[in-house]
Chains A and B, each alone.
Chain A
Amino acid sequence: MTPFTPKELTEQDVLALSAAREEPDWLRDRRQEAFKAFADFAWPHRKMEAWRMTDPRRFDLERPVALADGPSPSAPSSIVAAAGELAASATLSDAGLRDVEVGESGVEILDLSQASQGPRADVVKESLGAAVGAEGKFEALNLAAFTAGALVHLPAELIVDRPISLTVHVDAEGTHIPRILITTGHHARGSVYVTFTGDADATVIEALEVVVGDEARIDLVTAQQWGDRVDQIATRRGTVQRDASYRPLDAQLGGKTSYIRPDVHLAGQGADGELLGVSFADAGQHFETRSELRHDASNSHAEALYKGTLQGESRSVWYGNIRIEPHAKQCTSEETGRYLILTDHARADPLPFLEILTSDVQGCGHHSSVGQIDELQLFYLLSRGIPRRAALRMLIFGFFSEVTERIDLPGVTEAVLGEVADSIDEEAIVLSDPRRTH
């Protein structure tokens, strides 16, 4: 088949892709349906509310899709390296899934196209598009034309102690359309690290959906660690069933443009969602995170907490929304976005919103702030003999601690803070003027 571009995608391309992947008819039909939705949506532009802060023209949609496998990643990401022993691992590249190792873990990692006709076809059939459907231009594009997909499935009752690693590796020029589906049976429990590695002049249009079964729990880490030439659009959503728990952490460290929607859909009574994020935007980087906590069942609980630092000419936007549906009673929900500007020329916009459609709310709140390193705090540490470099690091780690102290996954805090520490440009740091606090 000939490589298509997102801009010029046709129904023929979608059919050819499905055929090349030897997919069953039902999956081909689903792609085709998604294509119709894709064709109906307008391309995003600046005047759309969701694209007010990130110019969609940052994404080159005329890059031909990459379909062939390149070499395997030469080294794991720092987060995976720090994680120690893994329960299972695999790499998702442009031609599909490879390097799959599941050992005795009980975890199933399958290529999505292949899984759709194997013993797990029912799981794919039921869950594909359940959390991230053809709801917008890019989501529809992904569902219609995902070039490589992975299914990570934890059967009912399976409890996995060590992390499951899935590496999304990009090393070819062009457009990459990966799709990841994580599903669990009831009472299953595990943590999945999805790390993004490699570098190329690339546009990545990703969808990641997680379906957490009754009383199950998934901890998810998504870590952008690719080079500074990758522009990425991602929609990630967990659908959480009765008394289940979904705890994603997004570490936004690499890439050039990163436009991410991490959502949780609390679909069952007593469902729990905790969305965490840490980011370090350096010169030339533009990050936007649009989180939504959607309460669709009573007694559900959710929290979003995003913290980021910025340095050089960089920008971070956090747009958070809490939506409580009319029939979702007695919910608690809270969202927070806080940013620390380290140097001149950086800009952060934390923008919390609330859509509460019921009067029967247990608790709901939002918080946001943008600040700089406090010169008085720094003075306090210096006056105790702590050298400037160590003191600044201590304050920045302190800023992130609200998030990191909630993470109990092996290697994650250590690796993320290590990346942060390596990125800090001490010389350029601008402090808040103590005179303003007097």
Chain B
Amino acid sequence: MAELKIEGLTAEIEGTQILKGVDLTIRQGETHALMGPNGSGKSPLSSAIMGHPAYEVTGGSVTLDGEDVLDKDPDERAALGLFLAMQYPTEIPGVSLTNFLRTAVNTLRGEELPVRQFMSELREHMSDLGMDEKFLQRNVNEGFSGGEKKRFEILQMAMIQPRIAVLDETDSGLDVDALRVVSAGVNKLRGPDLGVLLITHYSRILNYVEPDHVHVMLDGRIAQSGGKELADDLEESGYEQFRVSA
């Protein structure tokens, strides 16, 4: 069973330290929620895991099944089974969505999927996510609404079949109906083969995607970990209580 282990991770952006020693372990089959106020370091953590060029890791380690993740390029991390659903997916004009997805899927699954099978899988997942067929004519994220971008991230996750997926504020910017559809999409993918780190600002999404573990992040560190009840607690009392104990 795959295990993503983050130990003492520190990172900075433009010389500002933003991760100050993060410890977190996520196993296949588990769903973890990571919550925290703005600026607490949630997104930087997900970016550092995937190798985003703006973040410089200054210490600590990230391993997947004991294999060092940090010395690898993002494409090699993806090949290990890591996936990041981004908070702000990048628009790539001129690159067709189907060409992009097919290249990614063929590379990561390590086999040339027959077009027919690829398309039928794609259509099935699109229908689960309430995505129109016309989507296939478009370029990667180009001109997508916020909700469309989030659905497309989950669609990619469904097609790529990662072992550990980090969902960075996939719920932000979604109305209740879209949240329900996207959550259902995530739930469908959950199972013994997938570990999820669900990063969120609000506990709203946790009503749909129920986590096994909840972590609270404050000022670049994990301040508290617990079960689902921790999220309920946060909903009532806010983050301040943890600031004291942190």
| B39 at interface by CB-CB < 8 Å | no
When the two chains form the complex, which single residue of B74, B100, B140 contacts A382, counting CB atoms closer than 8 Å?
A: B74
Residues of B within 8 A of A24 (CB): none
| Structural contact, B104 and A395, CB atoms closer than 8 A | no
Within the complex, the shortest CB–CB distance from A379 to chain B, in Å, comes to 6
| A435 at interface by CB-CB < 8 Å | yes
| Structural contact, B84 and A383, CB atoms closer than 8 A | yes
**Residues of B1-46 contacting chain A, CB below 8 A:** 13-14
| Structural contact, B75 and A435, CB atoms closer than 8 A | no
Within the complex, the shortest CB–CB distance from A309 to chain B, in Å, comes to 13
| B54 at interface by CB-CB < 8 Å | yes
Given A380-B89, A391-B75, A434-B54, verify A386-B94 contact (CB < 8 Å). Answer: no
Q: Which residue of B lies closest to A405 (CB)?
A: B94
When the two chains form the complex, which single residue of B52, B93, B108 contacts A379, counting CB atoms closer than 8 Å?
A: B52
| Structural contact, B78 and A382, CB atoms closer than 8 A | yes
B87-109 vs A, Cβ < 8 Å mask (1 yes, 0 no): 00110111100011001100110
When the two chains form the complex, which single residue of A375, A385, A431, A434 contacts B104, counting CB atoms closer than 8 Å?
A: A385
Chain B interface helix/strand/loop/mixed: mixed
When the two chains form the complex, which single residue of A388, A398, A438 contacts B94, counting CB atoms closer than 8 Å?
A: A398
Within the complex, the shortest CB–CB distance from B101 to chain A, in Å, comes to 8
| Structural contact, A380 and B92, CB atoms closer than 8 A | yes
| A381 at interface by CB-CB < 8 Å | yes
| B184 at interface by CB-CB < 8 Å | no
A-B contact count (CB 8 A): 88
Residues of B within 8 A of A397 (CB): 94-95
Within the complex, the shortest CB–CB distance from B91 to chain A, in Å, comes to 8
| A377 at interface by CB-CB < 8 Å | yes
**Residues of B in contact with A, size category:** 20 to 34
When the two chains form the complex, which single residue of A376, A394, A434 contacts B103, counting CB atoms closer than 8 Å?
A: A394
A397 to B84, CA, bound (A): 25
Residues of B within 8 A of A398 (CB): 92-95, 139
Within the complex, the shortest CB–CB distance from A390 to chain B, in Å, comes to 6
A interface residues, Cβ below 8 angstroms from B: 374-377, 379-388, 390-391, 394-395, 397-402, 431, 434-435, 438
A-B contact pairs, 19 of them (CB 8 A): A375-B53, A377-B90, A377-B92, A380-B86, A380-B140, A381-B92, A381-B95, A381-B104, A382-B51, A383-B51, A384-B104, A385-B78, A385-B108, A386-B100, A386-B104, A386-B107, A395-B92, A398-B94, A402-B93
